[in-house]
Amino acid sequence: MRARLLACLCIPAVFVAGSVTILYAEPAPKAAITLTKDGYLKAGFDVLGAFEFNFPDNENPPVSQAAAKASMAQVPERIKKLDGKQVIVTGYMLPVKMEGNRVTEFLLVSSPMLCCYGMVPRINDWIIVKVPSPGTSILMDSPIQFYGRLHVHEMVQDGMMSGIYLLDGEKMGDGSE
C-alpha cells in the first residue's frame, strides 16, 4: 500500500522486502524575480517574504541602530541585491498618510488579512511606500501593483524596528504586468 501511495505521488523510492527508502525529495522551487518589458524587476512577496526574520528586541525599546543593522544579516543575498533597483510589487494598500483624498504614504502588505483584520504581519510581509505629492488614488480592497525604487535596509523609528523595505513610489500599475 505504501509503495502505491509513493508511486502515485511521483516520489522516487526503492522498495525492498517491506521497507521503503526515499531517494530524494524535490526542493520547493525558488520564487522568480523577473524582468518586465518596462525594465522593472517583478519581485513579489513570494520572494520578499520567503525567509524567517527575527527582530532585535522590540519588546524592550529602544532598539539600537547597531542591533537593527546586525539583524539585516538574516536577509538573503538575492533580496539584498534588489536594493536600489526599480521593482514592481503586487500587494494590498494600507494608507498611512494622506493629502486631501490622495495617499502619500502607505504600507503595501502581502495579504488583505494582515493588520486590518487582526493578523500581525511579519516584517518582510510589508513595504513602506512613499509617493511624492500629490500622492496616488486610494485602492484598499483589491490587489494593486506599485512601481518604484526599492530600498532594503533597517529602519528604526521611536526606538523600534519599523521595517526592512522602503519603496520610493512612482506609479500604480494597471494589472497588466
* Global confidence as pTM: 0.79
The SS3 call for residue 2 is helix
**Contact between residue 75 and residue 157 where contact means Cβ atoms under 8 Å apart:** no
What fold characterizes domain 31-172?
OB fold (Dihydrolipoamide Acetyltransferase, E2P) (2.40.50)
| Tens digits of residue pLDDT in 122-158 | 899 999 999 999 999 999 889 999 999 999 999 998 8
Residues contacting residue 157 through CB under 8 Å, at least 6 positions apart: none
| Tens digits of residue pLDDT in 75-126 | 999 999 999 999 999 999 999 999 999 999 999 999 888 665 667 788 999 9
User: Cα 46 to chain center, whole Å?
Assistant: 6
**Contact between residue 72 and residue 65 where contact means Cβ atoms under 8 Å apart:** no
| Tens digits of residue pLDDT in 24-44 | 334 445 688 999 989 999 999
Domain residue spans in the chain? 1-27, 31-172
Cell 512601481 maps to which residue?
147
Neighbours of 1 (CB within 10 A): 5
